Amino acid sequence: MSKQEEMDQYQSITNATVLIVDDNESMRDLLRAAIEQWGYQIIEAANGEEAWKIMQQPVPPQILILDWLMPKLDGLTLCNKIRTELATYPYIIFLTQVSGVTNILKGFEAGADEFLLKPVNFTELRIRILAGERIIKYLDIIADQKKELKKCQAYAKSLELKLAMPGAKSSG
């Protein structure tokens, strides 16, 4: 089996929506063509401001591919805003030409989950998206379990109150 065929086995597991944020139309076209082929839904934004509006929708994209240097609102500020102002946790992958350890650190401090450099290595990008998708899936499971746990706690509390009431009898 060739490397390509091997990679083709790994399609999106959740059909997640990926938001591509890049001011270069040609870059967005290329990323769209590649990522769509891997089984994801795509939304595009040409700058941080557009992306921020999309992220505030009731069901925002779960994965972001984010350029750093953009007009209106840059990638770093957007990343920071998402982490500090939104209740949801999208997986954020920086894809930029801004390099150097200091900048990479800045990206992670702003809340990025991954940091990839342009030119794009598509195999690497695909692996990072798959990893992100898995993390998003587990976060969803944890959120569901938390809800379930809260329900159970509320039920236990109500039983406790019933038992504490004068005249309450054990049925067992």
Question: What is the token pair recorded at 90?
Answer: 């999208």
In terms of CB distance, is 78 or 136 closer to other proteins?
A: 78
Tally of CB atoms within 10 A around 165: 7
Cβ proximity to other proteins, 33 vs 152, nearer residue: 33
C-beta closer to other proteins: residue 69 or 142: 69
Distances (CA, A) of 94 to 20, 22, 107, 132: 10, 10, 8, 12
Cα dihedral 30/65/113/8 (nearest 10)? -40
Q: How far is the CB of 142 from other proteins (least distance, A)?
A: 34
Q: Which is nearer to other proteins, 36 or 148 (CB)?
A: 36
Backbone angles phi, psi at 76, to 5 degrees: -65, -45
> Nearest approach, Cβ of 74 to other proteins (angstroms)?
12
Give the whole-angstrom CA distance, residue 139 versus residue 162.
Answer: 35
Contact set with other proteins (CB under 8 A) = 4, 22-27, 29-30, 33-34, 37, 67, 69, 97, 118-120, 122-123
Q: Whole-number minimum distance, CB 20 to other proteins, in Å? A: 12
What is the nearest approach in angstroms of other proteins to the Cβ of residue 123?
Answer: 8
